[in-house]
Structure 1
Amino acid sequence: MTDSDATRDKLQGKLKETAGKLTGDKDAEAEGRQQNAEGQLKDQVEDAKAGLKAAGERVKDALG
């Protein structure tokens, strides 16, 4: 999983959601919201991983 995966999901989700709103397609709108949320979740997971890695490095340096 990369930042580009998350960005792509968020962008595609917003496009689907907007298209659904414009066409009155509630299913497409909901699918777009879900895909956007998945992209946001991917971003949060990557941020958490980076934070844990940095914390681990600080502990390693403190013990080291």
Structure 2
Amino acid sequence: MSFCVIDVRSNKLSDEVRKRGGGFTKLCSLSPLLQDFVGKSELARTEVVKWLWPYICEKKLQDP
């Protein structure tokens, strides 16, 4: 379970929480095969999709 730190006076998330990110922006360790494909050891989920999507389109791997 994760908790958010909110500054009660300004009602905003703390800078620490904002920098850390989470969910889709959280860095994830990639499998060795995926590391070879993208050339990086860690990426956010959204970044992995950005790398994979052109390959999927180029090879016509999406179900029409």
Normalising by structure 1, report the TM-score: 0.38
User: Of Structure 1 and Structure 2, which has the larger fraction of its residues in helix?
Assistant: 1
TM-score by length of 2: 0.38
User: Which protein, 1 or 2, shows the higher relative CO under an 8 Å CA cutoff with sep ≥ 6?
Assistant: 1
